[in-house]
Structure 1
Amino acid sequence: MDAAAPVAEGSEANPGASPPNHQPDSGGGGGRAARPTPEELVARSIAPVKPEFLCPPPVRSAADAGDGAAAAASGVVKEKKSRRQMKRERKEEQKSTLHICIEVARSGNVDSCNYGDKCRFSHDINAYLAQKPADFEGTCPFINAEESCPYGLTCRFLNSHKENIPSESQKISRKSHEINGLSKNLQKLLWKNKVDFPKADAQLKLLGLKGGKSKKEKSKVDNVENQQDAFDGSNNLCNDDKSEMLACKDDDASCVDVSDEARPLKKTKGEVAENGGNDIANGSCCMETILTDGTENSSLNTLNSCKVNPSPKVHAREKKLIDFRGKLYLAPLTTVGNLPFRRICKVLGADVTCGEMAMCTNLLQGQVSEWALLRRHSSEDLFGVQICGAYPDTVARTVELVESQCSVDFIDINMGCPIDIIVNKGAGSSLLMKPMRMKGIIQAASNTFEKPLTVKVRTGYFEGRNRIDSLVSDIYEWGASALTIHGRSRQQRYSKLADWDYIYQCARKAPSNLHVLGNGDVFSYTDWNKHASDCPELSSCMIARGALIKPWIFTEIKEQRHWDITSGERFNILKDFVRFGLEHWGSDTKGVETTRHFLLEWLSYTYRYIPVGLLDVVPQRLNWRPPSFYGRDDLETLMASDSAADWIRISEMLLGKVPEGFTFAPKHKSNAYDRAENG
């Protein structure tokens, strides 16, 4: 954002975030006990903040704690509404003038909606503008000299538009810098379970892994048997020919590499003439049909620009590998590891980025919210997606689906997530107790996917019973190109320090061609240097919570320094996040509030950062508990607050006042130190 909303109380322009004339605590005298030495504080995992910056913990009432904290303090529990009641409220809300038709809002013309009077949304422009929340100061993130804002009248930066109401002749020609979307046609087919996965199913058959068959698949058992006769019995399908198609998407101005190998047995001309259009007529198709038939995927316009480059299928060992050695890898992070946050980390020096963990079953069902986790920005030059599944068939089919629809450099399979709902479904960390299931998943996925496949694990399921060292070589033989080891067991979650000695042990046992990456408690360039020097066999380190608390850790590692970043520089990073968020989620009211929500989730981590200039011992460790302290200015003090009310105040400095009745509670409760990013 070029200009922020009206500054709230507590900003640099209007100090008030902390007591203006606080008395520094000297740490002794006045009958108080002598303050522990910095070494004693470090031994107790308490951050050794300089005495002159310490302050007593603030005593807040429910009224002072803000809307979100007040609701929790008062013990108010929201009324649980029935599904019928919520549906009725949604319908009533849609009739409100605030829910204007998107086509009318874009064009400013009530006649632009194809549904006319039958449209379920409002067409009353004047009524909408009368009730619309106040616009923000600053420039719309979508406006430039060549294009109009896609949100039209609903944009919260409407005043910055060259014309308040775009003319009908203005066409939205905005070229998105984001790719990896899900087409509506494919989504509908996934909803109806009408998509075939020939590559994945063929590999499952060859490996002797029987997956659950849908009704449509059961009706085609004979065809599957015929497909099997086409293969020579080898697990790697080395003798099959492959053709690669470059499918250019008009809707996001991006290109994806589409692999077309491991096809079913080619049909004769007579069979094609007899059965050629039956699958589409019946509402079903295979992945090849979706990608090459213009009628099934008109939104992608794949026939507009197609280039076929036949080449032989490569063996799993001949796949193009990614050299992770020395690269700064931003870990996949639940909730906070969204696309705008990854853009921030790229600006600050990250080399490798990975999307948030996506569940295979949800991707195969065409859930839009899950597919949003696969979105990729053009600045992410080395990008992967992380998936999580419990069975070889769901993972292999997901891999085939992602490869055909998305532009990715690698796929990471999460076998370390400690979250109960994931483990109870047989995925994540539960796979650590099922090595044969791990083998089936990795083999099926690797043989289906033409690019590098990586795996992320923990040391083991139970504390004190590590087992990954005995599986490292097997994981490589099964087809993985890289292995990331989080130095904690599933039982530990995020408590205690990561066991890097065990990570080193695994790295030394790994085959030379397998990249092993360590993960856990990397929070400074000295941590990075120590792991690199202690174990040269380690390819790199994955940075997770360290990047959440201070994303400039990538800059520190590259520049080999402890950056005593100012509050103004940190605030500029938040400004960039807001700008990226508005570009990603939209500049209308819904997009603004979505950006605010994820900003608040991120602030629930960043408050744990202690500026370098305030510490007696440098650098800060990830397991240190920060005491209550004053910053060197009011904004730094505000950023150090552990109160959700103060996080909301920071969001208001960037995105204006929160809506009436707004509440916020951190999803992962990072201040509890036991729930953070996924495994």
Structure 2
Amino acid sequence: MEWQIGNVKIPNRVVVAPMAGVTNSAFRVICKKFGAGYVVCEMISDRGIMYRNKKTLSMMNVDPVEHPMGIQIFGGSKETLVQAAQFVDTKTDADVIDINMGCPVNKVVNTDAGARWLLDPDKVYEMVSYVVDAVSKPVTVKMRIGWDSDHVYAVKNALAAERAGASAIAMHGRTRKQFYSGYADWNVLKEVADALTIPFMGNGDVKSPEDAKRMLDEVGCNAVMIGRAVLGNPWMLKRTVHYLETGELLPEATPEQKISIAKEHLHDLIELKGDYVGVREFRGQAAYYVKGIPHSARTKAALMEATEEAEMDRLFDELLVKVQDYQRERQAKN
């Protein structure tokens, strides 16, 4: 079901959340291949953009297959945030500029950025309005419901961003204090969805296609934003899109499929970042790909030590042989 962020058409209601250290171009391309309607780049520092930091600028490369996609920026002062937004607006292929108001980590919050703004709807309005006025691409905001359980200003903050000219809001149903513990509060997300007139993306505790449908139905959001459930499991996207369209649940990925995509993801990451960085960054992803595969504990440990693509590929291939032997043994017993 198509919807829009400003003038940008999104082909379906399944969105991949921006995740630091994860949603680089290699990962986003895989998510698109598995049917994601919209993807967002991992958050990028406004100062990194301002100082033209080489690593920061390389994070903003957009593969043509990624569209529609957004680049997410964060920062603590309106001057630097506006400059970063203008750079994304005029110097990148992003379709949308997203402002991070939800990152809970101290390193970001202590620079007066990310989730820090959740305590002040006036600051939300001010920062968003300055950015909207400075760019021509649609601006969206990613937030959490509040700072802690005593400061849940979800509706006020969302309305402040809408009033300031945001084209859509995404909100995670946890507070900053929760980080990723406990549960996402879908009741608060529903209050936000009911209050807004611009599109709303709900986020938090969507672990299956059924969860995605339930969130769309119960929260009343325009799209569902999926984060951690996609790690090592891009099939989640394909299964969710299919389920929302047809009501049919496709099977989970087989070990063969998981290993095949893991190797492709690894290769693409190395193409993007080079051997040294690519292999090391992929270690965290590798653990997600082998999760749930029988007899994978030793493979997982070895992958964490691997330093070359060929070594990782060999470990994946050996695991596959183990799994196939295990499956044959079980069939023989039955």
Q: TM-score, normalised by structure 2?
A: 0.85
Q: Which residue of 2 aligns with 1:571?
A: 259
Q: Is the 8 A contact 2:118 2:157 kept in 1?
A: no
| 3-state SS of paired residue (2:174) | coil
Q: Which residue of 2 aligns with 1:467?
A: 153
Task: Pick closer, same or farther for the CA change 1:592–1:455 going to 2, 3 Å.
Answer: same
1:365 Cα deviation after fit: 0.6
Structure number with the higher helix fraction is 2
Match of 2:228 among 531, 542, 545: 545
Greater RCO, 1 or 2 (C-alpha within 8 Å, sep 6+): 1
| 3-state SS of paired residue (1:408) | coil
Task: Pick closer, same or farther for the CA change 1:393–1:642 going to 2, 3 Å.
Answer: farther
Q: Which residue of 1 aligns with 2:332?
A: none
Determine which structure has more spread, i.e. the larger CA radius of gyration: 1
| 3-state SS of paired residue (1:479) | coil
Q: Residue type of the partner of 2:149?
A: E
C-alpha separation in 2, matches of 1:342 and 1:641: 29
5 Å-filtered alignment, 1:112-123, equals none
C-alpha separation in 1, matches of 2:157 and 2:36: 29
Q: Which residue of 2 aligns with 1:592?
A: 275
1:404 Cα deviation after fit: 1.7
1:465 Cα deviation after fit: 2.8
Give CA deviations for 1:389-416 in whole Å, capped at 9, x if unaligned. Answer: 1121111111112212111110000001
C-alpha separation in 2, matches of 1:545 and 1:396: 30
Structure number with the higher strand fraction is 2
1:364 aligns with 2:50: yes
| 3-state SS of paired residue (1:517) | strand
1:533 aligns with 2:217: yes
Q: Which residue of 2 aligns with 1:645?
A: 302
Match of 2:92 among 372, 387, 406: 406
Q: Is the 8 A contact 2:124 2:160 kept in 1?
A: no
Task: Pick closer, same or farther for the CA change 1:407–1:564 going to 2, 3 Å.
Answer: closer
1:472 Cα deviation after fit: 2.5
Give CA deviations for 1:248-294 in whole Å, capped at 9, x if unaligned. Answer: xxxxxxxxxxxxxxxxxxxxxxxxxxxxxxxxxxxxxxxxxxxxxxx
Q: Which residue of 2 aligns with 1:582?
A: 270
Q: Which residue of 2 aligns with 1:375?
A: 61
Instruction: State the identity %.
Output: 26
Q: How many residues align?
A: 305
Match of 1:507 among 193, 203, 209: 193
C-alpha separation in 2, matches of 1:351 and 1:363: 27
Task: Pick closer, same or farther for the CA change 1:642–1:446 going to 2, 3 Å.
Answer: farther
1:428 Cα deviation after fit: 0.5
C-alpha separation in 2, matches of 1:595 and 1:656: 17
- Runs of at least 5 residues in structure 2 that lack an aligned partner in the other structure: 244-248, 316-334
Q: Which residue of 1 aligns with 2:331?
A: none
Q: Residue type of the partner of 1:567?
A: P
Task: Pick closer, same or farther for the CA change 1:490–1:349 going to 2, 3 Å.
Answer: same
Q: Residue type of the partner of 1:525?
A: P
Q: Is the 8 A contact 2:8 2:68 kept in 1?
A: no
RMSD of aligned residue pairs (Cα, Å): 2.2
Q: Which residue of 2 aligns with 1:604?
A: 287
C-alpha separation in 2, matches of 1:641 and 1:558: 34
Q: Is the 8 A contact 1:454 1:481 kept in 2?
A: yes
Q: Residue type of the partner of 2:280?
A: H
C-alpha separation in 2, matches of 1:416 and 1:541: 17
Consecutive aligned runs of 4 or more in structure 1 exceeding 6 Å deviation: none
Q: Residue type of the partner of 2:180?
A: Y
- Runs of at least 5 residues in structure 1 that lack an aligned partner in the other structure: 1-318, 586-590, 611-630, 658-679
Q: Residue type of the partner of 1:568?
A: E
Match of 1:352 among 14, 25, 38: 38
| 3-state SS of paired residue (1:385) | strand
| 3-state SS of paired residue (1:396) | helix
C-alpha separation in 2, matches of 1:425 and 1:647: 32
